[in-house]
Structure 1
Amino acid sequence: MLRLFVALPLPFEVRERLTGLMGGVHGARWQTDAQLHLTLRFIGEVDEARAEDIDSALRAVQFTPFQVQLAGVGLFGDTRKPRMLWAGVGPEAPLAHLAQKIETALVRIGLPAETRKFLPHITLSRFKGPSGRLDRFLAEYDQLWSPPWTVDRFTLYRSHLAHSGAIYDPLASYPDDEEADAGPFEDDEPEPAP
């Protein structure tokens, strides 16, 4: 089984900005540079045949490139029982439009519809219990911003858990500029020796 999600990878400068502000919050389990992304659609566990269907559906999604930038920070939960600290990304409208196109393509092939409202964000940390200094962090980075970057593709990722946390492997990007005979889920077989 493959645990999949669709997300936007982040430019190096944005990841560098975000990793630079991580720290000073008691109880926060900070994301690593390699874990930073903006989720457009969580899919969950599927078998390889379903993964091929997902790949085909995502290849049909078309959109016009657009620009976004970091836009403040927020919290899921509250300061007494925090669940997740995140950085916002805006403007929201083009991101929501792209997420809806992906949602429509996936529902068309039989995946259950997403019931949660789309909120574009980048997870910075997760919490297992109470936290300290969270109010200070939220106030300090309330006006977080970055220069805009262009969104011209999205990526299908595989997620698996390791002792060090989740590892996200990119499987395919869309649109795909290269024509490939094999899909991203097929093992490449070596050419027979002459």
Structure 2
Amino acid sequence: MPRLFTGLEIPAELAQDLSLMRGGLTGARWIDAENYHFTLRFIGDIDDAMARDVAATLDLIRKPPLAVTLDALDSFGGDKPRSLIVKARSNPVLNELQAEQERLMRRIGLPPEPRKFTPHVTLARLRATPADAVAHYIAERGLFAARRFEARRFVLYSSRASTGGGPYRIEAAYPLGEEE
């Protein structure tokens, strides 16, 4: 039974740049640079028939390439931080790509994604990391220089059931640039 999600790949040069931020945070389990990505739609553990339906349905999407700008370090989890992330600027094309995937996945019978879409790259998963340590880490790196890349495709990833962070495998790729 595959565990699937859709996402945008992070270019290798940008991933390498982001990986230089690793270290200096107790309780952080750093994600390997080759596993950095933007999740667009988590699909979850599904059977092979539904996986085929997902792959075929995603092939219907026609959107232009999109520019993504990473511009801020942040964390998820508030007083109990669970991940260190780099957020992306709001982008109508990115939001529409994600929303279309959500609509299509619901149309083929998958339950709605309960989490609000927040475009980001996860740098580290956190365990028992005090909120003040995360705030200090972010403050020390507060002059985060914006980084931009162009996404020319989105992908369908699979992962093995494990405690987050990969490894991820590309099952299919869908070009951006063929808007109808």
Asked if Structure 1 and Structure 2 have the same fold, meaning a TM-score greater than 0.5 normalized by the shorter chain, the answer is: yes
Distance change (3 Å), C-alpha of 1:162 and 1:81: closer
Instruction: Give the alignment of 1:23-62 within 5 angstroms.
Output: 23-62=23-62
Structure 1 counterpart of 2:94? 95
Alignment of 1:15 onto 2:11: no
> In structure 2, the residue corresponding to 1:13 is in which secondary structure?
helix
Tell me the C-alpha RMSD between the 2 structures. Answer: 2.2
Gaps of 5+ in 1: 178-194
Partner Cα distance (1:88, 1:109) in 2: 30
TM-score by length of 2: 0.89
Offset at 1:149?
1.3
Partner Cα distance (1:107, 1:155) in 2: 18
Partner Cα distance (2:165, 2:49) in 1: 27
Is the CA contact 1:71–1:143 (under 8 Å) kept in the aligned structure 2? no
Is the CA contact 1:73–1:87 (under 8 Å) kept in the aligned structure 2? yes
Structure 2 counterpart of 1:174? 174
Structure 1 counterpart of 2:109? 110
> In structure 1, the residue corresponding to 2:64 is in which secondary structure?
coil
Offset at 1:173?
0.4
Partner Cα distance (2:98, 2:136) in 1: 32
Structure 2 counterpart of 1:158? 158
Q: Which consecutive aligned stretches of 4+ in structure 1 deviate over 3 angstroms post-superposition?
A: 161-165
Partner Cα distance (1:57, 1:29) in 2: 34
Q: Give a deviation string over 1:70-120, Cα, whole Å, max 9, x none.
A: 111111113x52111100112332221110011111111111111211100
What is the identity, as a one-letter code, of the residue corresponding to 1:20?
L
Q: Give a deviation string over 1:124-165, Cα, whole Å, max 9, x none.
A: 111121347322221133342344211121000001146996
The structure with the largest alpha-carbon Rg is 1
TM-score by length of 1: 0.83
Gaps of 5+ in 2: none
